[in-house]
Structure 1
Amino acid sequence: MTKTDRDVLGRGMRILGIAIREEPRVFAAAVGASALYGATTVGSALVIGRVTDHVVVPAFHDGDTSTGALTGAFLVVFGIAILKALGIVGRRLWAGIMQYRLQATYRRRVTRQYLRLPLAWHHKHPTGALLSNANADVEAAWYPIAPLPMATGVVVMLLLAAAAMVATDWALALVGFVIFPAIFVLNVVYQRRQGPLAMRAQELRADVSAIAHESFDGALVVKTLGREDEEAARFAAASTELADANIAVGRVRALFDPLLEALPSLGVLLVLLAGSIRISHGDLEAGELVQIAYLFTLLAFPVRAIGWLLGDMPRAVVGFERVEHVLDADGESVYGDTAAGKSGPAGLEARTVRFGYLDGADVLTDVTFDVAPGRTVAVVGPTGSGKSTLASLLVRLVDPGSGAVLLDGVDLRDYRHGGIAATAALVPQQAFLFDDTVRDNITLGLDVDDDAVRAALRTAQAEEFVDRLPHGLDTKVGERGTSLSGGQRQRIALARALVRKPRLLVMDDATSAVDPRVEAAILAGLRDDAGPSTVVVVAYRKATIALADEVVFLEDGRIQARGTHRELLDASVGYRRLVNAYERAARERDQAAGTGPESPDPTTAAETRDEEVPA
């Protein structure tokens, strides 16, 4: 056995030890049932040998037998068979319970860990790989649990059978035992060949899952760019590689399984040959030969059961270590003990915030601003300026590399777990809806009545179109809300945030797919008492920006200017050029679609001329 084989075996035994510690009572019940099966199996061999000597052979010799002898033989054999059946049922039942309970336990642990880990950690790992960790890897980790109680319990069978054979005829037992070194060597060779192949197949399962999820998640890109054939080819290549790996595993198993089956049969033939010679010399009874031959066939089964256990270990090691990688992941968000405020507008402040992603370059640098309670602030900036990153920082989806974000004067990192979610809400540009009803997509388990749901829909300017749906609030929207338009999905997502009555609402371009007039009505509604007290909105439309109390102009990850929309138009050339460019692009798009005005209004035209002012 090589060092690699010993390493896999050692890691596999550690996994089995963890399983036993996790479910000690269930394991004990399964092993007890397996031991009962092993003992009764050996007992049946002894009974068959006794029946042969005291019932079958006399019947042939005398040509007759008694009813009592036949009845007694039947009752003994039947009783042994019942106990054996109970052992089989108990072994399989408790082994299955143990395996599935461990799978459920570790799926829950992996899922809870996913929820605990910050968004930055998720950015580093493909979603398909995370799905594979929670499903295929967890299943693979506990595959050996099915044969484990059997392999442990049948050791009783192995010891009892070997002892019974030696007690019956030690010379004949030695003849049979010659075959077991060959079985052991064959198992070692099998593990050495099968191990790397099983590990490779398990790794490829995660690759296939990752590609499939990425293709499904990017279905819109695939369809609009005509990438169906390329995606199908990419998935086919990965699937073919996985199929080849599984076939290689099956090919090795198909080669060794017949050999492992044949060796015990060869041993039986040797025992029968040597036994017939001993019977002819009067050194052995026929019943003893039958008993030893039957016991020898039983000895092969424990060896095979242990082989099944060892055969599943390489795949289990890979699966468990991939699961452990998730469970041992660091970067979990740390929380404090401060309770969030219950009511009233929330004050917001960013102090010298810096943040960067994996490439090391800062996305935000020295960002400092404050939002007074009850105010509406628009964050404006060109693409890549860090607006969405800032929105994530304001609700602590990520933590700043340095500096701090404060809510009501308290660092977000000092709040209790769940405190920020109870106070602040983020509405992203890409609205995600579940394959559920409109009501359940808004409440998401929150205990609110339909009046509160309708009030949120009204503020989000969504009540009218929801009432026109076939079943109103009970209408199912389909996977990811595919039965709704982009603007409708955004308004449902906004209502989802509003129904929770957040003291701080952060909207990351959350109305980009909504008609400008509807967007203006939404922002006007947010100013009412029914809406959240403090609003931070990432915006690009001039009409939307003009509704804000203050504008923060972000460029190259830094705040370049602050003030009202009119003040920044007069004071900042970069801001004026940006918002006018947005306005002109939107107007041209509307005119191309036949929905916009034929010419800009005088105010817009005047502001557009201002963009010619040199920097």
Structure 2
Amino acid sequence: MSTNQQLKPNHADKKHGAFKLLTSYIWRDRPLLTRAVTFLLLATVADVVGPMLAKIFIDDYLLPKNFESISLILLLSAYLISQFAAAWFRYQQTMRFTDIALEAVQDIRKKVFAHVLKLPMAYFDKAMTGQLVSRITNDTESIKDLYVQFLSVVIGNVVFLAGILIAMALLNVQLMLAALALIPAVICVIYLYEKFSGAAVQEARELRSDINGRVSESISGMTVLQASNQQQRFSDQFSKVNQGYYLARMKTIRASGALLRPMIDLLSVLVLLAIVWIFSLQVVSGVAEIGVLYAFLSYLGRFTEPLAEITQRFNLYQQAMVAGERVNRLMQAGEQTWHQNSSQSSGQTEAEITKGKICVEKLNFAYHPDKPILKDLNFQVNPGQFYAVVGHTGSGKSTLLSLLLNFYSANENAICFDDQPIEQFGHDSLRAGIGLIPQEPFIIAGSIGENIDMGRKLPQQQIEKAAKQAHLHSMISRLPNGYQTELGERGTRLSTGQRQQLVIARALAASPRILLLDEATANVDSETEQVVQRALMELHGQVSMIMVAHRLSTIKHADNILVLSHGEIVESGNHQQLMQLDDGLYRSMYQLQQQAAKVEAAS
């Protein structure tokens, strides 16, 4: 299930959530908004003054042939000043609205990314990376258009229309009423446009996110994709989604082409004919002035243009609202998932792991209610003990580590650290007390020191101590830049074994009391395996360790080995004890690995 399918509220709730999210930023910076509106009002006054001055020139100076130089110079100067002032005020207004937009988008993007970083692992089991990236980047960028391209234009043009209508009323009420009829007609056009294009805009946005998701998925899995000769299948799937996006966009373009600018132009021509007809009647009655007609025609051109701009920008409004709804849905979906996994929220006390004792009692867990993964697990790890967990694929080994890390919520009080339920530990204290060494090393594009520190601002001495514990310090010392050596993306400058040692150093740098290892030696050579094993043995007795192991040779010195089968502990004991069990699962697994190693060595 993709993120687009999760927690879909009804249409009214979606609009309300998006509207609340977007409008909250409009009122956040009131001083900046006040300045923007002030410049908008001044620009409107300056714009409206122009045709009024032109009307005065025609009726009071041009037609009567009154060419008094001082009056004309003053009139011309006032006209030029009004036009320059209007341009400057418009520029200032645009800058202020852009400032509001960029600050809003920056804050939304920061909050969304911070929220995604804190989401429980259960959320990412169903999420697609490309879709999340699309929401954090593309959708937040579309929200910017709401403030810059839509909000600024709509507010500016509404105020401008009000100013024009006031000026028209001062000149001629009948002509103003004829022009006023254009507004309800435009509102009907906007309503029809939203009705015909709303679903298509939503569909296009979702399909665009799917395109990003499929591209991200294909690129990240390119090796497997080409090795299994799946290029054509993935290409066909992408083409299908891409075609759907094209058709959805064409629907919106057809609606826009039929209902926006062409319809506004048609309505403005009809209004123009009405004004000319009314003016001709007034001429016959002898109450009309040529300057008034000129001013009205000038105002009408400025009157229809804002309406056309509003309708044109309405497409951006729809896209921004859809984007805002998608961002808001991500935030809300995450919050609901967070509450469903309530044990991952802040603990009720300031409990900290100081000893490293682990107690698991009657632990049950299932990703789906009808498919249990772990069944009634019971064991206890005393401080400093080394426990290993083994079993066939799908037996629940990695799931157990995920529960100990609180990535997923288990049944209440099933897991305790230092005799306190896991629910009592806050996120920070839990992460400080537990170190994780995953099977696949995660290396950031930074220096070796930064990869060990991971933003914790640890002293250099502590970083070097961790590197020594991981038997990596001597290698780092031989590098020209030492701990400041820059690593490429995914740590490509290091070997697979060195990357694993780096991850071990990272886990040890914070001096955790518990160390969890998820098949830490599965992807390293035998030489590196021995180095890793030696590092772990040196920690034996100092740190409580639980190691999920595929290579059973690495856990021969474990204090206790838990053998899982179909989510249950079927055997328990140290290596010697388990090897004495006739027909034991651990014994058969160990013997098979030993035989495989002999065959490999012989070949």
> Is the pair's TM-score, using the shorter chain for normalization, greater than 0.5?
yes
Amino acid at match of 1:322: R
Partner of 2:589: 578
2:342 is the counterpart of 1:331: no
Q: Equivalent of 1:497, from 497, 503, 507?
A: 507
Contact in 2 for aligned 1:552/1:561 (Cα 8 Å) = yes
Matches within 5 A, 1:541-552: 541-552=551-562
For residues 284 and 492 of structure 1, do their structure 2 counterparts lie closer, same or farther at Cα, with a shift above 3 Å needed? same
Matches within 5 A, 1:415-564: 415-466=425-476, 471-528=481-538, 533-564=543-574
Provide the secondary structure at the position in 2 that maps to 1:93: helix
Task: Please tell me the root mean square deviation across aligned C-alpha atoms, in Å.
Answer: 3.0
Number of residues of Structure 1 aligned to a counterpart in Structure 2: 584
CA deviations over 1:393-443 (Å, ceiling 9, x no partner): 122222213552111111121012300111111111111112222222221
Q: CA deviation at 1:11?
A: 7.5
Amino acid at match of 1:185: C
Amino acid at match of 2:592: A
CA deviations over 1:82-138 (Å, ceiling 9, x no partner): 331233123212222222222222223322332333211221322222223323333
Q: Equivalent of 1:224, from 205, 224, 227?
A: 227
Partner of 1:311: 315
Partner of 1:170: 173
Provide the secondary structure at the position in 1 that maps to 2:580: helix
For residues 265 and 7 of structure 1, do their structure 2 counterparts lie closer, same or farther at Cα, with a shift above 3 Å needed? farther
Q: Equivalent of 1:89, from 67, 88, 91?
A: 91
Find the aligned partners of 2:324 and 2:220 in 1 and give their Cα distance: 27
Partner of 1:388: 398
Find the aligned partners of 2:563 and 2:271 in 1 and give their Cα distance: 86
Q: Equivalent of 2:602, from 588, 592, 598?
A: 598
Q: CA deviation at 1:557?
A: 0.7
Partner of 2:6: none
Partner of 2:368: 358
Q: CA deviation at 1:548?
A: 1.6
Contact in 1 for aligned 2:437/2:507 (Cα 8 Å) = yes
Mean Cα displacement is larger for which, 109-118 or 458-467?
458-467
CA deviations over 1:353-392 (Å, ceiling 9, x no partner): 1111136311111111111111111111111111101111
For residues 9 and 538 of structure 1, do their structure 2 counterparts lie closer, same or farther at Cα, with a shift above 3 Å needed? closer
2:446 is the counterpart of 1:411: no
Find the aligned partners of 1:5 and 1:76 in 2 and give their Cα distance: 52
Q: CA deviation at 1:217?
A: 2.8
Amino acid at match of 1:29: R
Contact in 1 for aligned 2:353/2:430 (Cα 8 Å) = no
Partner of 1:267: 271
Q: CA deviation at 1:7?
A: 9.6
2:189 is the counterpart of 1:189: no
For residues 31 and 360 of structure 1, do their structure 2 counterparts lie closer, same or farther at Cα, with a shift above 3 Å needed? farther
For residues 553 and 13 of structure 1, do their structure 2 counterparts lie closer, same or farther at Cα, with a shift above 3 Å needed? closer
For residues 484 and 494 of structure 1, do their structure 2 counterparts lie closer, same or farther at Cα, with a shift above 3 Å needed? same
**Given the two structures, how large is their TM-score scaled by the length of structure 1?**
0.86
For residues 212 and 401 of structure 1, do their structure 2 counterparts lie closer, same or farther at Cα, with a shift above 3 Å needed? farther
Q: CA deviation at 1:55?
A: 4.0
Find the aligned partners of 2:503 and 2:15 in 1 and give their Cα distance: 51
Matches within 5 A, 1:40-119: 40-58=46-64, 61=65, 65-119=67-121
Unaligned runs of 5+ in 2: 1-9, 339-343
Find the aligned partners of 1:528 and 1:17 in 2 and give their Cα distance: 58
Find the aligned partners of 1:49 and 1:321 in 2 and give their Cα distance: 48
CA deviations over 1:417-475 (Å, ceiling 9, x no partner): 30011111111111111222222222111223444333323332334554566754333
Partner of 2:44: 38
Unaligned runs of 5+ in 1: 592-596, 600-615
For residues 435 and 246 of structure 1, do their structure 2 counterparts lie closer, same or farther at Cα, with a shift above 3 Å needed? farther
For residues 184 and 391 of structure 1, do their structure 2 counterparts lie closer, same or farther at Cα, with a shift above 3 Å needed? closer
Provide the secondary structure at the position in 1 that maps to 2:299: helix
Provide the secondary structure at the position in 1 that maps to 2:532: helix
Amino acid at match of 2:118: R
Q: Equivalent of 2:241, from 230, 238, 241?
A: 238
Contact in 1 for aligned 2:364/2:374 (Cα 8 Å) = yes
Partner of 1:215: 218
Partner of 1:157: 160
Q: CA deviation at 1:262?
A: 4.8
CA deviations over 1:578-613 (Å, ceiling 9, x no partner): 12223334554xx3xxxxx339xxxxxxxxxxxxxx
Provide the secondary structure at the position in 2 that maps to 1:196: helix
Find the aligned partners of 1:117 and 1:7 in 2 and give their Cα distance: 22
Q: CA deviation at 1:198?
A: 1.3
CA deviations over 1:263-303 (Å, ceiling 9, x no partner): 33553455346546644764322211111111222222342
Q: Equivalent of 2:125, from 123, 148, 167?
A: 123
Q: CA deviation at 1:203?
A: 1.3
Find the aligned partners of 2:476 and 2:595 in 1 and give their Cα distance: 32
Partner of 1:347: 357
Mean Cα displacement is larger for which, 551-560 or 327-336?
327-336
Amino acid at match of 1:195: G
Contact in 1 for aligned 2:362/2:376 (Cα 8 Å) = yes
Partner of 2:382: 372
Contact in 2 for aligned 1:354/1:402 (Cα 8 Å) = no
Find the aligned partners of 1:564 and 1:337 in 2 and give their Cα distance: 37
Identity %: 26
For residues 342 and 377 of structure 1, do their structure 2 counterparts lie closer, same or farther at Cα, with a shift above 3 Å needed? closer
**Given the two structures, how large is their TM-score scaled by the length of structure 2?**
0.88
For residues 422 and 138 of structure 1, do their structure 2 counterparts lie closer, same or farther at Cα, with a shift above 3 Å needed? same
Provide the secondary structure at the position in 2 that maps to 1:571: coil
Find the aligned partners of 2:270 and 2:166 in 1 and give their Cα distance: 21
Q: CA deviation at 1:19?
A: 4.2
Find the aligned partners of 1:218 and 1:492 in 2 and give their Cα distance: 25
Find the aligned partners of 2:427 and 2:435 in 1 and give their Cα distance: 15
